[in-house]
Amino acid sequence: MIGTEKNNIKALDILLVEDNATDAELCMRALKKHGLANNILWVKDGAEALDFVFRTGEYAGIPNGLRPKVILLDLRLPKVSGIEVLRKLKADEHARLIPIAVLTSSKEDNDLEECYRLGVNSYIAKPVEFDQFMDTIANLGMYWMVINKLPS
């Protein structure tokens, strides 16, 4: 298992919402190469993501102050879709402060537009080619973890 253990979260930088294990692994490998993978929580569907952010379900006991610096959100997810997760988070007064970067294999203009309409902070198409994929993820991690400033 990669990333932070669910019940023992001390610190959190990235919430990765990704149902595909290989993609998740490649993603974390890219981040790890640049020393950005220390505090990643990986959830496999939209419902779990919402549970975490709103402290419901199995994440009910997690302290309120614990917030990721960015949520990497895939759009095609089991149970609750990425778009739905995005809508719910951006509709919430507190949760909307968390930056959300959509990370998807979709190249559809529909999805892109819809995500921006809902208030996404970034939209990245996963490159198919390995090198590009690794670079893109690394850049993404660097930007949100290091360069970007968040409200306290």
Partner 1 sequence: MGTVSASGVKAAARPPARPPCPPTSQWSAFVSFGAAFSAIIGLLGLTGWMLDVPVLKSGLPGMVQIKANTAICLILLGASLWLRRKANEQTRGQNFAGQLMAGMAAAIGLVSFGEYLFGWDLGIDQLLFADSPREAIRSVAQGLMAPVNALNFYFLGLALILLSWTTLHGVWPSQMLSFTAGLISLFNLLDFILVPHDLHTYTSLPAAVALAVLSLAVMCARPQFGYGALPRGSEQQNSIIRRWFFQGFAEQHTQPLRYGGAVVMVVVAAMVRRALERSLGEVSAFLLFYPATLLAAVLGGLGPGILATVLSAAIAGYFIFDPPGIGVGRLSDVASLTVFSATGIAIAALAENLGRTRRHAADKVRKASLYARSLIEASLDPLVTISPEGKITDVNQATEEATGVARAGLVGTDFAGYFTEPEKARAGYRQVFNQGQVHDYPLAVRHVSGKVMDVLYHARLYRDEGGAVEGVFAAARDVTERKQAEQELSVYRQHLEDLVAERTAEIQTANQRLETANQELETFAYSVSHDLRTPLRAVDGFSRILLEDYAPKLDTEGQRIVTVVREGTKKMAQMIDDILAFSRAGRLELSIRAIDMEELVRAALKDLEPALDGANIKVEIKPLPASHGDASMIQRLWTNLLDNAIKFTRPKPQGVIEVGAQNGENETIYHVKDNGVGFDMQYAHKLFGVFQRLHAQDEFPGTGIGLAIVKRIVARHSGRVWAEGKVNQGASIYFALPNGGKS
Among 64, 129, 151, 152, binds partner 1 (CB under 8 A): 129
**CA-CA distance, 87 to 126, in Å (whole number)?**
21
Site stretch for partner 1 (CB under 8 A), options 5-13, 44-52, 116-124, 127-135: 127-135
Nearer to partner 1, 48 or 111 (CB): 111
Query: Is 130 near partner 1 (CB under 8 A)?
Result: yes
Query: Is 9 near partner 1 (CB under 8 A)?
Result: no
**CA-CA distance, 93 to 12, in Å (whole number)?**
20
Nearer to partner 1, 20 or 121 (CB): 20
Q: Residue 15: name the closest of 65, 53, 47, 61 by CA.
A: 53
Query: Is 76 near partner 1 (CB under 8 A)?
Result: yes
Among 2, 20, 99, 139, binds partner 1 (CB under 8 A): 20
Contacts of residue 65, defined as CB under 8 A and 6 or more positions apart, other chains included, come to: none
Site stretch for partner 1 (CB under 8 A), options 34-42, 46-54, 102-110, 116-124: 102-110
**CA-CA distance, 81 to 102, in Å (whole number)?**
12
Query: Is 133 near partner 1 (CB under 8 A)?
Result: yes
List, as one string, the DSSP characters of 9-42.
Answer: -S--SEEEE-S-HHHHHHHHHHHHHTT--TTEEE
Nearer to partner 1, 105 or 148 (CB): 105
**CA-CA distance, 69 to 11, in Å (whole number)?**
11
**CA-CA distance, 63 to 89, in Å (whole number)?**
18
Site stretch for partner 1 (CB under 8 A), options 22-30, 52-60, 64-72, 142-150: 22-30
Contacts with partner 1, residue ranges (CB under 8 A): 20, 22-23, 26, 29, 76, 105-109, 126, 128-131, 133
